[in-house]
Structure 1
Amino acid sequence: MTHANSAPEEDRPTKPALMRGLRRRCPNCGEGMLFDGYLKVKDTCPVCHEELHHHRADDGPAYLTILLVAHILGFVMHIVWVHLRPDPFVMATVLTILCVALCLYLLPRLKGMIVGIQWARRMHGFGGTS
């Protein structure tokens, strides 16, 4: 229900914000870099000056990273073992390197995605009324 005195808020589509976050860009403009370093979200976008300090990504990106990497590597481990039967030490070494590389690649992208979703849904102070 909408109230007679409430003004409709500007629509923020979730999918573009999510995709911008996956690219580690500002969820508002898609131009400015979202991170200052590897995982620290900038307080404001350098291009559109959107405030980004409201985010509350917390443990969500790490949980999603573990979930994805474990499923991917479980599938890869099964296929490699069934078809190639490598030496266990070689397989463990290759899978460990792959695990670390995937985690380092996915973690900032998934954090950007979560910040983008929070921005689009106006969660945790993003776009609240003053």
Structure 2
Amino acid sequence: MTDITQHHDERPMWPAVWNGWRCRCPNCGNGPLLRGYLTMRDSCPVCREDFQPARADDGPAYLTILIVGHVMAPLLLIVFTTFRPDPLILFTIFAVGCVSLSLYLLPRLKGVIVAIQWSRFMHGFSQAA
């Protein structure tokens, strides 16, 4: 049990999560985490932290849908009941809003999930790194 606590003290989670949100290396905060829009780098070009153990899978997509749905659904109801815009205008505004918010959140939430895995030594992120 002591080893687990020690691991958590060695890698503080909140700075790593902030670095992940910025799509930066959770270790140094300088190197880019992603090679493309959602493609992970094999390692950090600055500190050489190995990113190959990262397993974000469907987590970022699930969280993106959850957040976008919880933000846009009440907003849609408020706009519809308050302003009663034409249905095509309403659809256009909210379609663009949902797509834009999703595209903004997806890589950032992937960075956050990878950063949490890194800070908690999950999925092969070893203590030696």
- TM above 0.5, yes or no, is yes
- Normalised by the length of structure 2, the TM-score is 0.92
1:57-102: CA deviations, max 9, x gaps? 0000000000000111112101111211101111011100111111
Counterpart secondary structure, 2:10: coil
When the two chains are superposed, the root-mean-square deviation of aligned CA atoms in Å is: 1.7
Amino acid at match of 1:69: V
| Structure with higher helix content | 2
1:83 aligns with 82
- Normalised by the length of structure 1, the TM-score is 0.91
How do 1:21-100 residues align onto structure 2 when only pairs under 5 Å count? 21-100=20-99
Shift of 1:129: 5.8
Amino acid at match of 1:63: Y
Amino acid at match of 2:21: L
Q: Distance in 2 between matches of 1:17 and 1:127?
A: 15
Q: Distance in 1 between matches of 2:13 and 2:2?
A: 21
Based on CA coordinates, which of the two structures has the bigger radius of gyration? Answer: 1
1:27-51: CA deviations, max 9, x gaps? 0000000000100110100000000
1:124 aligns with 123
Paired residues, number:
126
Shift of 1:128: 4.4
Q: Which runs of 4+ in 1 moved over 4 A?
A: none
What are structure 2's unaligned runs of at least 5 residues? none
1:109 aligns with 108
Q: Distance in 1 between matches of 2:60 and 2:2?
A: 34
Counterpart secondary structure, 1:115: helix
What are structure 1's unaligned runs of at least 5 residues? none
